[in-house]
Chains A and B, each alone.
Chain A
Amino acid sequence: MPDQHIDLNDIQGNIVKAYGRFGYPKARYIFFQFHDVEAGRNFIRDLLPLITTGRPWCKDQPPSATTNIAFTYQGLKHLGLPTKTLHSFPEEFSMGMKARADILGDDGESSPTEWDPIWHHDKYIHMFMSINAKSLEALEERYKKIQDLLKKSSGLVTQLRGHRDGQRDDLPYQEASAIFVDGKPTPTEHFGYQDGISDPYFKGSGGNPLNVVGGGKPTRGDPATLQGWEPLETGEFILGYPDETKELPIAPVPTLLSFNGTFMVYRKLHEKVKTFHDYINNVGKDFPGGPEAVAAKMAGRWRNGAPLVLFPTREEANAFAQEYEKARELAATSAKGKKRYEELRLKRTGFNFGNDLAGSRCPMGAHIRRANPRGCLEFGIKDAFATPGALDNRRRILRRGLPYGEVTNPLSDDGEHGVIFMAIGTSIERQFEFVQQQWINYGNDFKLSNQKDPLLGNHDGKDMFMIEGGSPDNPPFFCPEIPRFVTTRGGEYFFVPGLTAIRMIADNLIDPT
């Protein structure tokens, strides 16, 4: 039951719904520029009826396609927002992603100079739009509608070109799609991992209450149960509500502009599939369990999604994954099946690292342990903090997005395939940038000095990743000379206003005085 004090009708749908998991496996990301204030406002006003809100779909027939929009700092400036309002936005947002490359570790082959051409110009991108759809036909239909609205601007709002797809580098949009196997969408990305399993769960999101397990903030209760978790405060993800400090998050003025809005990070992340497979195959020759176990240790989950903490062996993980998939299929057909599926879902999310403090199951530096420490930063010291999540509750991010491209040649890193990654939260600096800088590209908080996230770190071929053993007959194993598996191909920071705020921007009603 959504919190009645949170108006989901006024919140954009992509904040509370990970569309890919709701049966919208196709997506298109489009970027626009405004050349005239009035034309920009008119375009936005025309778009308003198409924008998908966070209203729960159980009440209505779900749409066949969704649409959401967001603005860069330059975009808001070109829509004529008052200077006082512009100055009230956080610095990282007004600087934009490229200017934060040092913080994000976007260096070498991830440098902005290497990004898709659309990102090469400064102050160029003004508006982001995402279309998610149940089918390619629905996607095209919605896209055509947008094109018709765009034509009304007589060229004063332009759709920006410059996305690469392997053949061309001037495409007018970024296409994305779940990876289909046997005609069915899967939740995996190009390295073969199931993705997006534990997304933060917050008060008023309207999501399935069971998602609090692993998605909320840890209590000192049993992490396998609802008692082990509480919903995060709304203000961590939506502006205008108290956050984990019991204060309102810092937000741009006037209040009605920021209320029900948030910030979003968009990143195009190329996955070097050949490098990844070569690496796990090579290292797997020496590691007990082979390449699949190396892949699991790097992520903290087996590629089928089973967490190492609960399923330390590949056999256990495979048996679980099979049962889980079967239950998922049966869930739609019977109440009993649904119950079983929900029980099994909790086994993918209902854990922490309290019984694995030495990292003998899930390495300290594994991706999931870094990106969502689940209260493990107390390092087993009883009541080290007032709450076990004191150091990580304010570093959570809602993850959105889908894979893009196809791996046509697994023996090559070239081609266009990766993940369109989006992170949503009320502070880009405190949440996404901190996680990226301190937890992905550094290791001190995990007592791992300057080790990086094995999968996402901006490695230079010299880094190593330690797989803790934890006992004399199970010595530590060092994965040497880790290459960079994931490179950045583009990205920007966006403000995602609520529906009232979008209307007020369109009607030139933003008045911070």
Chain B
Amino acid sequence: MANLISEPTPLTVLSPIKNGDDGSQTFASLTRKYLQSLDIHEKSPMAKVPNTFLCRFFVLNDVFFEGSPGKVDHLKSKYLVFCCNFHGDLNTYLREFWQNAQQEAQKIWRHCVAFEQVHDAESFIDYIKKCELNTTIYFNGSTGLPLDEQLKALYLKQEFSQFACEKQGLSAEALFEAFQKFVERTRPADLTGPTWKPGQNTL
């Protein structure tokens, strides 16, 4: 993994999808159809995978045709691409992925070559590592702190902005009292809540 900074950890995985079809649709089409049926944001199955900052799945049909006089190249198969950034080390992340979203992982990768050999967290880790690509440049949308800290920070930032807006112009005493209530309600040191849910993108 070509990760020169410690956090967040990027991951790019290309898993070949089996050629062929189920009698009416190719395995690549079925994979795309399943991916497009997944919920997003806090309802996404990836919201259950701890410490996922952002991720994306898509089906890569082929290499891009570069036009004349370029040689026409084709991939030998279509690929399921999974890109993400997360907090922590890869083994822990993938183990927790399997532990928290095993069913979804099995559905997402079900048409990929050799995925039938994946039956537990360790074989999932091995499989993903075999399909892993060096990630040399990626969209870094996060500080790299653990996800629960970031979610709490986002929650506090939004709540505090609201507080500042609502309470402007109060006397020092009234402001102090209001702030004490604010702290009681938002519990800044408590990462378990109140906070944003993983995957949440707006209040």
Contacts and interface: CB of A to CB of B under 8 A. Distances in A.
Q: Do A and B come from one complex?
A: yes
A246 to B, nearest CB: 3
A122 to B, nearest CB: 34
B72 A9 contact: no
Contacts of A242: 65, 67, 72
B19 interface: yes
Nearest to B19: A4
A506 to B, nearest CB: 11
A26 B157 CA distance: 67
B72 A499 contact: no
A7 B26 contact: yes
A504 interface: yes
B153 to A, nearest CB: 28
A504 B62 CA distance: 20
Contact of B74 (A5, A10, A55, A499): A5
Interface string B1-41: 00000000000000000010101111011001100110000
B20 to A, nearest CB: 10
A246 B26 contact: no
A247 B67 contact: yes
Interface string A266-284: 0000000000000000000
B24 A9 contact: yes
Main secondary structure of the interface of A (DSSP, over half): loop
Interface string B57-85: 00001100101110010100000000000
Given A4-B19, A245-B68, A504 B26 contact: no
Interface in A42-67: 53, 55, 60
A53 B29 CA distance: 13
Interface string B130-166: 0000000000000000000000000000000000000
Contacts of A7: 26, 28-29
B109 to A, nearest CB: 20
A384 interface: no
Contacts of A55: 24
B78 to A, nearest CB: 9
Contacts of A135: none
Interface residues of B, number: 20
Nearest to A3: B74
Contacts of B33: 500, 503
B67 A5 contact: no
A103 interface: no
A509 B74 contact: no
B29 A10 contact: yes
Contacts of A504: 36
Interface in A10-60: 10, 53, 55, 60
A286 interface: no
Nearest to A503: B33
A248 B74 contact: no
Contacts of B32: 500
A195 B55 CA distance: 55
A16 to B, nearest CB: 16
Contacts of A222: none
A134 B43 CA distance: 47
Main secondary structure of the interface of B (DSSP, over half): loop
| Residue with the highest number of chain A CB atoms closer than 10 Å, among B28, B29, B37 | B29
Contact of A9 (B21, B37, B65, B68): B21
A19 B32 CA distance: 29
Interface string A472-513: 000000000000000000000000000110011001010000
A241 B67 CA distance: 10
A259 B21 CA distance: 18
B25 A9 contact: yes
B29 A248 contact: no
A362 B52 CA distance: 71
A504 B29 CA distance: 12
A241 B26 CA distance: 18
Contacts of A247: 67-68
A246 B68 contact: yes
A160 to B, nearest CB: 30
Nearest to A59: B23
Nearest to B37: A507
Nearest to A242: B65
A233 to B, nearest CB: 10
Nearest to A245: B68
Contact of A53 (B24, B37, B68): B24
Contacts of A5: 62, 74
Contacts of B72: 242
Contacts of B62: 5
Given A55-B24, A509-B36, A246 B69 contact: yes
Contacts of A246: 67-69
A116 to B, nearest CB: 36
B164 to A, nearest CB: 33
Interface string A208-248: 00000000000000000000000000000000011001111
A499 B21 CA distance: 14
A260 B21 CA distance: 17
A509 B37 CA distance: 10
B84 to A, nearest CB: 20
A245 B70 CA distance: 12
Contacts of A241: 65
The 6 closest A-B pairs by CB, nearest first: A246-B68, A247-B67, A5-B74, A7-B26, A9-B25, A9-B26
6 contacts: A4-B19, A9-B26, A53-B24, A245-B68, A503-B33, A504-B36
Interface of A: 4-5, 7, 9-10, 53, 55, 60, 241-242, 245-248, 259, 499-500, 503-504, 507, 509
Given A60-B23, A245-B68, A259-B61, 20 more contacts: A5-B74, A7-B29, A9-B25, A9-B29, A10-B25, A55-B24, A242-B65, A242-B72, A246-B68, A246-B69, A247-B67, A247-B68, A248-B65, A248-B67, A499-B29, A500-B29, A500-B33, A503-B33, A504-B36, A509-B36
